[in-house]
Chains A and B, each alone.
Chain A
């Protein structure tokens, strides 16, 4: 079974600084997708960024980028120029690309605090 581990229950960063949230996963699949979701206090789950495992290039969305290390099964999220609106829970998620299980497997989350 696939597992996703986020080893940082909470992270704090100064506004305008850069922060990196870590995520590791365990799978025997060779092809899969990885996601980072943001959950603000409203509890709405918002997709931040996604990565296809077959792509070597790291995904980037504006201030958000990932460091995808397939051999190490690591998928960290870097937030540059942190803003107060970035404060939220961040969840790493995995999904195999083959048929069968289509549900996402989530980590337990990292609570990101932005210090003004």
Chain B
């Protein structure tokens, strides 16, 4: 049973370019969460999605960031016009249900470097 998959593992972008980060949840999981980890910090919640719906985006920056989880295919976190401050590790997690007792299973993360 494959775990949460994220790709790419490392992504380098120049300032002003777009970054697309992909997340495939565990088999049978329909809930996806994105987190950002800045250097020397804990993970910060960004957005929670179910298939074709954004449930909670309270942690998403208001501009340049968007997320989707289509009916088919992986969840995508998209960052437009990247800036150096976007350099971080981005983690995706999934869970099988919104029942609060279920823990979230994390992917290996994508490390974004903006040059």
List chain A positions with a Cβ less than 8 A from chain B: 4, 33, 35, 37, 42-47, 50, 52, 91, 95-98, 100-109
Contacts and interface: CB of A to CB of B under 8 A. Distances in A.
B33 A103 contact: yes
A3 to B, nearest CB: 11
A105 B98 CA distance: 16
B104 interface: yes
Contacts of B58: 101, 103
Interface size class of chain B, counting residues whose CB lies under 8 Å from the partner chain: 20 to 34
A95 B56 CA distance: 14
B contact face: mostly helix, strand, loop, or mixed: strand
Contacts, number: 65
B103 A103 contact: no
29 contacts: A4-B42, A33-B100, A37-B106, A43-B108, A43-B109, A43-B111, A44-B108, A44-B109, A45-B93, A47-B103, A50-B103, A91-B42, A95-B100, A97-B100, A98-B100, A101-B45, A102-B48, A103-B33, A103-B35, A103-B45, A103-B48, A103-B59, A104-B35, A104-B104, A105-B45, A106-B35, A106-B42, A108-B40, A109-B42
B103 to A, nearest CB: 5
A53 to B, nearest CB: 11
Interface centre among A37, A45, A97, A108 (most CB of B within 10 A): A45
Nearest to B45: A103
